A = this chain, B = another copy of it.
Amino acid sequence: MGRRAASDSGGRRPTTIRDVAARAGVSVATVSRILSGTYPGAAATRGKVLRAVRELDYVANANARGLAGARSRSVAIIVNSVISPHYAHVAQGVQTQAAIEGKLCIVGTTGGDPERELATVQLMREEHAECVILVGNVIADDAYRERMANYARALAAAGSQLVLCGRPALGSDVPALVVEYDNTGGAYAITSHLLSLGHRRILFLGRRDSYTTPESRVAGYRAALADHRVPHDPGLEVEGRMERDEGYRMIRDRLAAGPRDFTAVFAGNDLIAAGARQALRAHELRVPEDVSLVGFDDLPPSADIDLTTVHVPHEELGRTAVRMALGRPRDSTAAVPGVMLGTHIVVRDSVRPLVREEPRVG
């Protein structure tokens, strides 16, 4: 299973069971049976296979190393939940890059509970994960920063490496790597897209103060309004979590509370957009004919609802996190590096130019 020592010293790729089978001149299934002690056949075959195993150091790679403590065989990613497709796609990037580097990939889930997060980080450390990648939206308060700094130091002390993914940097005294993506820039671009097409009353769904991800998206929304000299109406920012039923709820409540006072909706992510679209349809409002709708994330189902949205390079985030963690010399005292990946608009068919009947309200 891929050792860095081996690949560093001459680029030798890890020995696989197929190599053993080829060297011994038997099938992979036979090697597997012999190694697992369930081979019923000739002793000569067993001898050939075990010789190949020794010659190719295969046992040292997979089995004996495992028994000796499983050091550095895996990379770990910790997320709130794997049914959030945002997290799942980042985890997929981690898995893909881990496979390329000859590592296993394990995913810890916390349900958003800091105690489970702590326990999961400990578990990954004890398991000698080569790096521990923490993903996503947080309240970046002092307690958070301190918790992360403690994780970073504990992991560094154990020869591992904390990587924050889609989370803000901690400061140069903390041994953590950071890979972010441009939330504010993406939100600015898609708000500008709506403004350029004449929309002035743009409902933002999914404001959540002090959470880093929605905060940076709201910041981009407000900056675009300011640059287009459109007055900012805080009443157009609706609070909610980044989930599908929340999108439904926010639109349902808004339309129940009074006449529609917006021509476009900027959903804080694609899940909110999907729920909002369903609520709009329940009120016989068509997208885009009656209301324009945009999202954020560009996850695969957004193509099904023709959603114009912001592309987030989820898999590349995960891959970059692994590459940074495995590529970085452990004893470096250089400034802790951070990477910011770009985002961009994907135009589909959920936005219409606002014809010159001036926005109905405001």
Contacts and interface: CB of A to CB of B under 8 A. Distances in A.
Contacts of A67: 126
Q: How many chain copies does the complex carry? A: 2
A123 B70 contact: yes
Q: Interface extent on A, as a size class?
A: 35 or more
A278 B82 CA distance: 26
A45 interface: no
A116 B92 CA distance: 15
Given A1-B116, A29-B146, A85-B85, A106 B106 contact: yes
A154 B126 CA distance: 21
A83 interface: yes
A237 interface: no
A108 interface: yes
A172 interface: no
B92 A83 contact: yes
A300 B273 CA distance: 13
Interface stretch (A252-260, A301-309, A329-337, A353-361): A301-309
Contacts of A66: 119, 122-123, 126
Interface string A293-330: 00000001101110000000000000000000000000
Contacts of A51: none
Most chain B CB neighbours (cut-off 10 Å) among A17, A88, A147, A277 = A88
Interface string A66-104: 110110011000000111010011011001100100001
